[in-house]
Structure 1
Amino acid sequence: MHPDAAFRWDDLASLTDFVSVHSFGMLFASTPEGPRVAHVPVTWLDERRDEMRLGFHLSRNNGLVRHLEGSRALFVANGPHGYVSPDWYNAADQVPTWNYVSVELEGSVSTLPPDDLPLLLDRLSGENEARLAPKPSWTRARMDTEKFTRMLGGIVGYELRVDQWRGTRKLGQNKPVALRTSVADALEAVGNDALAALMREGP
């Protein structure tokens, strides 16, 4: 998380929604061989005992699989980001920077029971297929059952029980509105509409 309090983002509902919308990120964990990262699609699982649980899966051949059970891990989801040129402020004595939106989730990891793995995959595919509407949604009912079961053997499902949330929205909140607007205009001109829109939203 960025150390400047001006960029701190701690609204739990919006952090949760951000992870749902982006639904892909990096999972970091320590291993005896050193720190490792896996790139994973994620989905929120049903709440249990007032805990937020993030579901994900890895290839059984992934080196992290041997070390995740019972460990602590960090998941990071990144949103729109981009370089900001000092010229875009139309003001003197500015420096280059990078604006971005990011969420960090930390917690303990548990392996999901095998019977829960198909449900995790159904949730992941269902959420992402819904974004492709009006295309008819794909479901595993369209697969051969035996082939699906064999493919399940190649992955392992997990839940990250989140106990720490850290969000950053570094969007020029420490600058006057006129300078932020000038940068947003420039970002749009180079095709970074998503970051420009966030900067126009305000703090």
Structure 2
Amino acid sequence: MHPNGLFRWEDRAEMRDYVAALGFGALFAATPDGPRVAHVPVVWLDDSTLGLHLSRGNALARHLDGATALFTAFGPDGYVSPDWYGLGTDEVPTWNYVAVELEGTIRRMDREQLRAQVDALSHANEARLAPKPEWTSAKMDALRLDQLLGAIAGFRLEVQAWRGTRKLGQNKPAAAREAATDALEAQGRRALAHWMRNAGTAAS
């Protein structure tokens, strides 16, 4: 989390929605071989529990059960030129971004829980594809599905610490931030520009 309090994000409901909308991120944990990371799709199982899965062959999978892990969701982000602020020559370049870190204990799922997690994950993402008919695992051959589930390991991350950052120029005067936002939009960075336009009250 960024040390500047202006960029701190503490609304858990908003962070939860942000993670749900991204649906993907990086899971970090310590192992006897050093720190490792896996890039995983996720879905909320309840207000403070993330469901995820990864290949059984992933070097991290065998070390996760009972471990403390850190999941981070990230984006949008982008370079901000000091020229865009219109504040003179004493400004410096920076990088604006949105990120959420979720830390907690991770537990292995049994096969039934894994199946439910995969179904919840596909349901959340298939809903975004409407009006396409929803794909469900029930459409698969049962033996084939069982084989595929055997190739992955499912986990629950029980979140105990939430850390969010929205570094979006809140430390700049409103006009300067608006000018930088317009420049980012002109560069095609519309997602970051949208976040900046909704970053709250600007510095005076």
Q: TM-score range by the shorter chain?
A: over 0.9
- Whole-angstrom distance in 2 between the partners of 1:125 and 1:177: 41
Choose which of 109, 123, 127 in structure 1 pairs with 2:124: 127
Q: Would you say 1:63 and 2:59 are equivalent positions?
A: yes
Q: Which amino acid aligns with 2:153?
A: V
Q: Counterpart of 2:81?
A: 85
Q: CA deviation at 1:62?
A: 0.5
Q: Counterpart of 2:176?
A: 179
Deviations 1:92-149 (A, max 9, x none): 1110000000000000010011111110000000000001111111111221111011
- Whole-angstrom distance in 1 between the partners of 2:199 and 2:32: 44
Q: Which amino acid aligns with 1:77?
A: A
Q: Counterpart of 2:18?
A: 18
Q: Counterpart of 1:159?
A: 156
Deviations 1:36-87 (A, max 9, x none): 000000001135xxxx111000100001111101100000001211000111
- Whole-angstrom distance in 1 between the partners of 2:174 and 2:46: 40
Q: Counterpart of 1:74?
A: 70
Q: Which amino acid aligns with 1:107?
A: G
Q: Percent identity?
A: 59
Instruction: Tell me the TM-score normalized by structure 2.
Output: 0.96
**How many residues get paired?**
199
Q: CA deviation at 1:174?
A: 0.4
Q: Would you say 1:188 and 2:185 are equivalent positions?
A: yes
Q: Would you say 1:117 and 2:114 are equivalent positions?
A: yes
Instruction: Tell me the TM-score normalized by structure 1.
Output: 0.96
Q: Counterpart of 2:102?
A: 105
- Whole-angstrom distance in 2 between the partners of 1:198 and 1:150: 42
